[in-house]
Amino acid sequence: MLKKIPADYFDSSKGTLKLLWEEEWRALGITQSLGWEHYEVHEPEPHILLFKRPLNYQPPVSQ
């Protein structure tokens, strides 16, 4: 799967995946509810992306 990820998503100094903005990880096909932030890549296994969001997260109310 990593071979299919665009080269500009990688950190050139480390050769590992950089932290992705929501638009970037959603463009890769990752789907989850609103409010999640990509905060770390598990370097020994770079296909594992770690996400976080506040426990009390409330999605914006659409009108």
Q: Could you tell me the residue ranges of all domains in the chain?
A: 1-6+30-57
Q: What is the pLDDT of residue 23?
A: 94
Q: What is the pLDDT of residue 1?
A: 62
**What is the signed CA dihedral for 43, 48, 54, 57, rounded to 10 degrees?**
150
Q: In the chain, where do the E strands start and end?
A: 10-11, 16-17, 37-41, 49-52
Report the predicted TM-score, pTM, of the whole model to 2 decimal places: 0.78
Write the pLDDT tens digit of every residue in 4-62: 788 888 888 877 889 999 999 999 899 999 999 999 988 888 888 999 999 999 888 87
Contacts 24+ apart (CB under 8 A), 16-20: 16/41, 16/43, 16/46, 17/41, 17/46, 17/49, 20/49
